[in-house]
Amino acid sequence: MTAVAGPGTALPAATRGSALARWQTGHVADLLRRVHPSLSVEAVVVETTGDQRADVPIWEIGGKGVFVKEVQGAVLDGRARIAVHSGKDMPSAPHPELVVAAVPPRGDPRDVLVGATLAGLAPGAMVATGSVRRRGGTPRSCRGGVRVARPCGACPR
């Protein structure tokens, strides 16, 4: 087995700068430390096209991969040894020079509606989502229909 990182060195892990991405990287570091207790993991924060263009819908700037390409680039150019991504951001075809080496156990995958229940929404109510899938399904799942808006930005940093 190859050492993850030598004594006294940190394992550089490429990640986006959002609060969610930083939490995920910390979570992966905790899981790695269960196996390698003395391991130090250093976050290498990378700004992606998706981060830079938060005012534009994802599907208009390339869809899948807009939060991944630059993070993977940090591994490819040697700034990081690993990268941590949200599975939802990964393109279906993996990068030919990289591997998906681990997938931690998944948390609760259910969607969340904050502020009301679907049944409690008034006809014509506004629901904000950045997901193309939810944009398509939400109006049909509500009595009287709802208006769907795209929120601006991503998870706060």
For the domain 10-89, what is the CATH code? Answer: 3.40.190.10
| pLDDT recorded at residue 127 | 77
Residue positions annotated with a catalytic role: 89
Whether residue 36 contacts residue 16, with contact meaning beta carbons closer than 8 Å, is answered with no
User: How many percent of the chain have pLDDT more than 70?
Assistant: 75
The reply to whether the predicted model has a pTM over 0.85 is no
pLDDT in tens, 53-91: 777 777 777 767 778 889 999 999 999 999 998 887 788
Q: What are the structural domain ranges in the chain?
A: 10-89, 110-150
Order the strands of the 10-15 sheet from edge to edge.
40-45, 10-15, 82-83
